[in-house]
Amino acid sequence: MSDDEEITYLRKQKTIHYGSLEDQERIRLSTLTATDSDGEPKAVGGNINVSNEHFDLEDAMSKDKQALLEEFERKKKARHVQVSTDDDEVKKNLRKLGQAICLFGEGPAERRNRLRELLSRVGEDVVAKKPEEEKEKRQQIKDQDTTWYHEGPPSLLDARLFMAEYSLLKAHFRLKSLREEASIPESTLTARLQDLHKYTTSLSIYCSQIGDTRPISYCRFSPNSQYIATSSWSGLCKLWSVPDCTLVKTFRGHNCNVCSITFNPHACSTGNVLDLASCASDGSVKLWSMNSEKEEPIADLEGHAPFRVSRADFHPSGRFLGTCCFDNSWRLWDLEQAEEVLHQEGHCKPVYCMSFQCDGSIVATGGLDAFGRVWDLRTGRCIMFMEGHLKSIYSIDFSPNGYQMATGSEDNTCRIWDVRKRACLYTIPAHMSLVSGLRYQPDGHFIVTSSYDNTIKIWANKTWQMLKTLSGHDNKIMGVDISPDSKYIASSSYDRTFKLWAPEYTT
C-alpha cells in the first residue's frame, strides 16, 4: 500500500434499546428455551438453570426482627422473674426442671441467673406443677397395681363367716401342735432325720401301671391312702387301688383333656356323697361320687367356658371348691349352696395353680404371669405378692406348718416363701426343665418335685439339700403326690403310665 492511498475509517453504529432490560432478557431467554414432553422448561442453547423460586428479602428481614423482638421481650420478662436467694432452693428447682444443679465454675449468682433464664422460657409455674404431675403419675401407677374385686352374692358373707370360724379353730390346734414339736428333745429330732434319710435312700419303683391310651395329666391320693385317682388327656378319670394299682372305677363325662382331679378331704368317709372333682380344658368342672353305680358325674359347675380350667382344689372344710381359670381369675364355689360365691381377679395372665392353707384361712395362687398371690379368704384381700420367678408358675403347695409354701416354675427352680415375712426364703435350682408339680410331705420333713426332665427329686426341709433322685419314666412327668400316710409317692407321666414309689422294705 502506498502512502498516497486514502484510508477509510468505519464508525460503529450505535444501538439504542427501547423498553426495560428485564423484558429484553426475558425475550432472549424465551428464544433459548423449549418445552419438553412433561411441560417442563428445557435448555436449547446451553445449560441454563431456570427457577421460579423467589427470595423475599422483606420476609427474611421481618423474621429476624420478630426473633429479636421475642428475645428482647424474654429478657425483659426474665428481669421480673422471682427467684429465691437460697442456693439450696435454687438447686432443688433446677433438679425439678431436669437440669444440672451445678456447672463447672458456676457460683450461686450465676446459678440464679441460669434458673431465671430457664423459668423465663418455660414459665414460672412449671416448678409448682412438677410435684402435682409426679403425684398424679404415682397415683396412676398405684391404680394399675390395684386388685379389682367383683361384687359377690349375699351368700359370700355367710361363706366368709364360716371360713373365719373354721380357720380359727384349726389354727388353735395347729399352733398347739407346733409348740409341742418345739419341745421335742434334740436326740429325738436326730433320730427322725436318720429315719428320713433311710426312707429316701431306699425309694424305688414299687408299681408301674399303664393308666390310659393318652398322657396321664394328674394324680392324687385319697385321704385314707387306699386309692389313687388319675386324669387323662383322653377325657377319662380313673380310680385305682393302692398298692396293687388295680382299676376300681372309670369316670366318664369329659370330652377333652382333663387337667386335674382331686379328692374331697372327707372322701371315703361314711355318708359322704361328694368325693372327687375334676376340671378340663373346655372349661367343664365335674363332681363325682365313688359310691355311685353310674360312671357319670353327679353335678356340673358351669360358668368357666370357653376358658380352660387348669386346676381344682378343695377347701380343707370340704364345703368349698376353688378353680383356676384361664380368664385370668380364680373362683370359689360353695358346694352346699351350689353356687359361685367368689370370682377373683388379680393376675394379668391365666391362673394355673392354687393351694389352700391347712387352716383354711388363706389360699395361694400362681399364674402364667410368673407371679404368685396369697389371698385372705375371710376378708378377700391380697395379703402377699410373690415376685421372683422368671417364668410361669406351674405348681404351688402350702407347708403343714401353715406359714411356708413352695412354688415350682418354668424357670426350672423351686422357691420357698414365708407368709409371715412376706419374702422368699430360698431358691432351689431344682431341675433341668420346668417344674411341673411339687408336694410337701404330710409332716413337712421334705418336698417332692417333678419335672419335664423325666425325674422326681426329694429335698430336705430347712436345709433344702437334695436327698434322692427318682428316675424311671420314659417321658416328661406331669404330676406328683405323696400319700397321707407317707408310705408312697405317686407320679403321672406323658408316657401314659403312673408309678408308685416306695422304700424297698415296704410290705
Place of cell 384381700: 381
Residue 255 pLDDT exceeds 80: yes
Q: Which of the residue ranges 81-95, 171-185, 295-309, 423-437 would you say has the lowest mean pLDDT? A: 81-95
Tens digit of each residue's pLDDT (9 = 90 or more) over 193-245? 888 888 888 999 999 999 999 999 999 999 999 999 999 999 999 999 999 99
Identify which has the larger pLDDT, 119 or 31: 119
Length of the chain: 507
Q: What is the mean pLDDT of residues 4-15?
A: 60
Assess contact for 451 and 432: CB atoms under 8 A.
yes
Which parts of 195-234 are beta strand (E)?
203-210, 216-221, 227-232
The answer to whether residue 386 scores a pLDDT higher than 90 is yes
CA–CA separation, 411 vs 432, rounded Å? 9
CA 135 to the chain's CA centroid:
26
Q: Are 285 and 279 in contact (CB under 8 A)?
A: yes
Q: What is the mean pLDDT of residues 338-348?
A: 90
pLDDT of the residue at 462: 84
Stretch 408-431: mean pLDDT: 94
| pLDDT value for 205 | 93
Q: What is the pLDDT of residue 84?
A: 79
Whole-model pTM: value is 0.70
> Average of pLDDT values for 105-109?
83
Q: Could you tell me the CA-to-CA distances from 150 to 155, 325, 344 in Å, in that order? A: 14, 15, 7
Q: Give residue for cell 421460579.
A: 52
When pLDDT is cut at 50, 70 and 90, the band that residue 427 belongs to is very high
Q: How much is the mean pLDDT over the chain? A: 85
Is pLDDT of 459 > 90? yes
pLDDT tens digits along 19-47: 566 676 777 777 665 555 455 555 544 45
